Amino acid sequence: MEEKKSNSRRNFLKAGLITGAAATVGLGSLDLLSKEETSKIKTGKKIRLLSPEGKIVEVDESVINPSVTTAHLNIREGIPGKKFVMVLDLAKCGNAGKCKEACSKMHYLPEDRSYIKIFEMKDAEATAPYYMPANCFHCDDPPCVKVCPVDATFKREDGIVAIDNERCIGCRFCMAACPYTARVFNWGEEQYKMTVEDMKDMKPHEMCSSHVLGTVEKCDFCPGKAVKGELPDCVNACPNGVFYFGDENEDTVTNGEETLRFKELLKNRAGYRLMEELGTKPRVYYLPPVNRLFPFEE
């Protein structure tokens, strides 16, 4: 499987190089493609890419032919009727780090790595510092999806922004486009990886991405748990109840201990979204660190 996948990516890059050369000299790409490449062109749908020379070129969709796909899992559809949302209460965060540990365990990441970051924040010189956890914001208008040249990252109907790692070519355009630095690149650590056999046994909606070397990864809101009505591990692991997770359509969120009305919580506690002015419409909200439960400690 690994050999086939490598060959697929090599063929894609080869086609991109040939097409880029054709664009440079002013010739049609089909004139320079070998019989092997032209025999694959069937869809007629073109995808725009950047050539190694920095030029915009077009290749046929059929040239991008990953050996393993997750289409049979219906991961792009999402869970019907759901619109997932998360609220983080900054007044409760004491930087325990349990959310990060649980996230790494859930996603089979190395112990020193997580899809969640905890930032030390201070808004002004005269104000008090506080902690701010941050994961993927699952934006309703995600710039990462817009720049992906191979449709590897996508927005689901239930609000989750996901990645098909078998389709990702590792260009990292999405990482550059994300204003929240929520994505990470798999440079080559030994990590758990889903096999074809694993995926065959999985039910729809259980998986949004898998670990593939040389591709991008991020928080996925744990859809495998959401489809069972369970909370993400970061929510369950936090000892202070910082993370609230729920469904906007049902207007409820919970941290496992208390369940609240989503809209009332935001209204009564002055909820806000990070970098609202960018227009990305994140599905992660924050409650300001008022009357904090813990003193700030380095």
Q: Which residues contact 245 (CB under 8 A, 6 or more apart)?
A: 84, 85, 86, 221, 231, 232, 235, 253, 254, 255
| pLDDT, position 166 | 85
- Quick one: average pLDDT of 89-111? 89
Contact 4, 69 (CB under 8 A): no
Whether the pLDDT of residue 106 is over 80: the answer is yes
CA distance 202 to 205: 9
pTM for the whole thing? 0.74
Confidence band, pLDDT 50/70/90 cuts, at residue 87: very high
- For range 129-155, the mean pLDDT: 95
Would you state the pLDDT for residue 207? 65
Q: Put residue 275 in one of left, alpha, beta given phi > 0 → left and psi -120 to 50 → alpha.
A: left
**Confidence at residue 33, expressed as pLDDT on a 0 to 100 scale:** 36
Convert the pLDDT of each residue in 203-246 to its tens digit. 655 667 677 889 999 999 998 899 889 999 999 999 999 999 99
175 against 11, higher pLDDT: 175
Residue intervals in the chain for CATH 3.30.70.20: 68-298
User: How far from 274 is each of 26, 177, 189, 223, CA to CA, in Å?
Assistant: 45, 16, 31, 23
Mean pLDDT on 131-159: 96
For the cut 50, the answer to whether the pLDDT of residue 292 exceeds it is yes
pLDDT at 32 over 50: no
CATH number belonging to domain 68-298: 3.30.70.20
Is a pLDDT exceeding 80 seen at residue 92? yes
Mark residue 29 as left, alpha or beta (left: phi above 0; alpha: psi -120 to 50; beta: remaining). Answer: alpha
